[in-house]
Amino acid sequence: MGIINLTPDSFSDGGLLYRGERLDVNTVVDYAQQLIEEGAAILDLGAESTRPGSQSVGESEELRRLMPVITAICEASRVPVSVDTYRAAVAKEALAAGAEIINDISAATFDTAMLPLLCETSAGICLMHKQGTPQTMQADPRYDDVVAEVASWLAERKNALVAAGVAAERITLDPGIGFGKTDEQNLDIIRRIKELKTLGYPILLGPSRKSFVGHILGLPENERLEGTAAATALSIAFGADIIRVHDVKEMVRVARLSDAIIRSRH
C-alpha cells in the first residue's frame, strides 16, 4: 500500500506534493503513477494528518484537498484507491469518485454515520486500533498486555460491523503502530502479529518511517529507510498481509524477497 499524503504537515512527507501553498493535482497524479510503476498494489490517500499532536482540519478542507485528486487518480488508474478518513461524509464522496477502500483510524468510532455508510456500500474497510486521539495518543500510552488488548478491541469492532451487516470479507485489521503505543509496545505488536492473525482477518501494518524506528536508530524521518525495511521484512515473516509504506520501490523488493523466503512466492 503506497502512501499519498495530501497534507502540508504530515510527519514525514508533508508538503511533498505542494507547489507553494497549493496542492498540485497533476503532480499528485504523476506521483501516483510513479508508485504504481514501483509496484504499489493499493494507493492510500490521506488529506488530514493524524500524526501525534496534529490538529483536525475540518471536513470542508479535507474534501477540498481530496476530491480533485481522487477523481483524477481514479480516472487515470485501475489500481484500488483507499482513502484515509474517519469522516462518513468524506468517505461517501470518495467512494462516489471511485475509491474502493476506507482506511479509518477510528475503526468507525469517531463518526456515528460511518457504520451505516459502510453497510450501504460494498467498500473495503480497514479498522485501526488507536488509544486516544491524534492530539493525545502519545502522551502516556498504557496497557497491561498491548497485543491482547489491541486484539480484543479489534475483535469487538469487527464483530460490531459484521453484526450491522458489513460482509466479513470486506474487513482488514490494523493494530495501529505508533497510534497510542510506546516504542516497546510497537515492537511487541510486530513480534506477535501471529496472535492478531488468530482473529481470522487480513492484517495491515504501517511501520514506515515511524518514530520507533527513529528512536531506536537515532535517525530523522528521511533516514529511516533501512529501519523500515527491517520492520517490513519481519512483519511479513510474522504474518502481515499488507504493508503501508512511503518508499514503495524499496519495500516492494523487500516484500518480494520476504515472500519468497517465508511463503514460497516469487
* In contact, 43 and 2? CB cutoff 8 Å: yes
* In contact, 44 and 1? CB cutoff 8 Å: yes
pLDDT the model gives residue 134? 76
- Which residues are CB-neighbours of 64 under 8 A, at least 6 positions away? none
Is residue 170 part of the annotated active site? The answer reads no
Q: Is 249 exposed, middle or buried (0-12, 13-18, 19+ CB in 10 A)?
A: middle
Structural domain boundaries in the chain: 1-74, 75-262
Which of 197, 210, 256, 263 is the catalytic position? 210
pLDDT the model gives residue 10? 54
Cell of 204: 495491515
pLDDT the model gives residue 141? 85
pLDDT the model gives residue 53? 64
How far is it, in rounded angstroms, from Cα 166 to Cα 162?
5
* In contact, 110 and 159? CB cutoff 8 Å: no
* In contact, 87 and 59? CB cutoff 8 Å: yes
Which of 158, 244, 253, 265 is the catalytic position? 244
pLDDT the model gives residue 263? 82
Is residue 92 part of the annotated active site? The answer reads no
Per-residue pLDDT 10s for the chain (266 aa) are: 999 999 876 555 555 776 656 788 999 999 999 999 999 999 999 999 776 665 678 999 999 999 999 999 999 999 999 999 999 999 999 999 999 999 999 999 999 999 999 999 999 999 999 987 776 767 778 899 999 999 999 999 999 999 999 999 999 999 999 999 999 999 999 999 999 999 999 999 999 999 999 999 999 999 999 999 999 999 999 999 999 999 999 999 999 999 999 988 66
- Which residues are CB-neighbours of 136 under 8 A, at least 6 positions away? none
Q: Is the dihedral of CA 209, 18, 174, 144 positive or negative?
A: positive
How far is it, in rounded angstroms, from Cα 48 to Cα 69?
14
Which CATH number describes the domain made up of 75-262?
Answer: 3.20.20.20
Q: Is 71 exposed, middle or buried (0-12, 13-18, 19+ CB in 10 A)?
A: middle
Phi-psi region of 100 (alpha: psi -120 to 50; beta: other; left: phi over 0): alpha
* In contact, 97 and 74? CB cutoff 8 Å: yes
Torsions phi, psi of 145, nearest 5? -150, 100
Does the pTM surpass 0.75? The reply is yes
Grid cell 507553494 — which residue? Answer: 20
pLDDT the model gives residue 83? 98
How far is it, in rounded angstroms, from Cα 138 to Cα 235?
22
Q: What is the DSSP letter of 113?
A: T
Q: How far is CA 6 from CA 18, 69, 84, 219, in A?
A: 8, 9, 10, 24
Angle between helices 25-38 and 248-262 (to 10 degrees): 20
